[in-house]
Amino acid sequence: MVKISYLFSIVTALSFTVGCQSTTTVNETQTSSSNSSTFEWKLPKGVYPPKVPDDNPMSEAKVELGRHLFYDTRLSANQEQSCSSCHLQAFAFADHNKVGIGSTGAHSLRNPNSLTNTGYYTSYSWANPALDTLERFIVLPIIGDDPIELGVTEEMQPEVFARFENNETYQNMFKAAFPDIENPIKLEFIVKALAAFNRTLNSFNSPYDKYLAGDANALTPAQQRGHDLFMGERAECFHCHDGIHFSDSTANEKSFQNVQFFHNIGLYNVDDEGSYPEGNQGLYEITAKNTDKGKFKAPSLRNVAVTFPYMHDGSMATLQEVIELHSNGGRDIQSGENAGMGTQNPFRSDFITRKDFTQQEKDDLIAFLHALTDNDFITDPKLSDPFNNKGF
């Protein structure tokens, strides 16, 4: 049934409720598969490229510019941080801090998402349906002031952009990436270059991928059991972490629509009425509907073993804690300011029920999650810091 329709400043989204007590939105975006047809994606057979906006076609020059900008501290107002400060390749472009820490030391409320296969997401950030493309999302950590991340506020932009305008190497790179633009060293084109690089952060060479490709020995017996449990109705993990990206909020260039899902997994219940900690209540902060309290997107589980801590607020340090939550049907916190019975949260997804996994089932699920680690991805020199070998 139709649940809510509301107009965002940058995208119109239709939102409705589905049977699992999750909220889904469908966003229409202007993309074209022709934008990626001449770009060599280097994807496995059968894997379609991500969607690419009409106004930001892919090119090798643009990707390489985006890679340099991603790792360059000159893109922060005080030159103390780069995008890579919160998205480290060794951690699958995630961060081991509980929440993001900006260039001035300001803490955000949310854990930095891994950028694994980020070009395929239909929802960026943890719970804002309006942020449905990389271009719309990337601008926020650059210019945002609450909290400050890179801190390139409007008054700081001339100084920051001058650092690139006065650098001959960057002048040539911007010209190669945007040959039809007279002066491309502007926020719009910095964002587009960063988005292009992000669309190449694709991970499809884990043991699980080798298993799918026909290597029967790619998974250990424990990982095989964990796979069967994950994909079956006993654990029900696949309902929200589905498809090749292990997330239900993804699309590719062949997808007709961008569908987004948001779920409450019973992480909190601070008032016995379904609330999460103030200021961090997920989709509710956009829709103001009580039934949307605690609803966040299900992130990809690819490389999940190296992207700890977990959850939107980094409140779970280990995969063991995550599996315990799913075994118990939520998390009960006995004391402290966030005390409450998450297992009794009235807005929990219907898939979050008490399952009472055995210890072997828990161990097998964790073993399977480790099989999603792609060591080539987290060490790929083509995605690494270009300033390790040269400086300019």
Nearest of 72, 252, 27, 52 to residue 170 by alpha carbon: 72
Q: Which domain holds residue 188?
A: 33-120+132-202
Decide if pLDDT at 248 tops 60: yes
Give yes or no for a cis peptide into 53 (omega within 30° of 0).
Answer: no
CATH of the domain at 185: 1.10.760.10
Residues forming a β-bridge with 23: 17, 262
Residue 197 lies in a domain: yes
Decide if pLDDT at 117 tops 60: yes
Q: b/e per residue, 250-287, with b = 16+ CB within 10 A? A: bbbbebeebbbbbbbbbbbbbeeebbbbeebbbbbebb
How large a percentage of the chain has pLDDT more than 70? Answer: 90
Residue 375 lies in a domain: no
pLDDT score for 11? 34
Contacts of 171 (CB under 8 A, 6+ apart): 164, 165, 185
Residue 179 lies in a domain: yes
Decide if pLDDT at 7 tops 80: no
* pLDDT band of 224, cuts 50, 70, 90: very high
Residue 75 lies in a domain: yes
Residue 232 lies in a domain: no
pLDDT score for 176? 98
Tokens of 248: 């239900």
Contacts of 98 (CB under 8 A, 6+ apart): 111, 309, 313, 314, 315
Q: Is the model more confident about 2 or about 121?
A: 121
Tokens of 39: 């770009």
The mean-pLDDT minimum among 8-12, 30-34, 116-120, 382-386 falls in: 8-12
Q: How many domains does the chain have?
A: 1
pLDDT score for 388? 81
Residue 172 lies in a domain: yes
Residue 10 lies in a domain: no
pLDDT score for 264? 98
- pLDDT tens digits for range 76-85: 999 999 999 9
Per DSSP, helices labelled H in the chain are 60-71, 134-143, 157-165, 168-177, 187-198, 207-212, 221-230, 284-287, 319-328, 359-370
Decide if pLDDT at 20 tops 90: no
Residue 355 lies in a domain: no
Cα gap 231→224, rounded to integer Å: 11
- pTM for the structure as a whole: 0.91
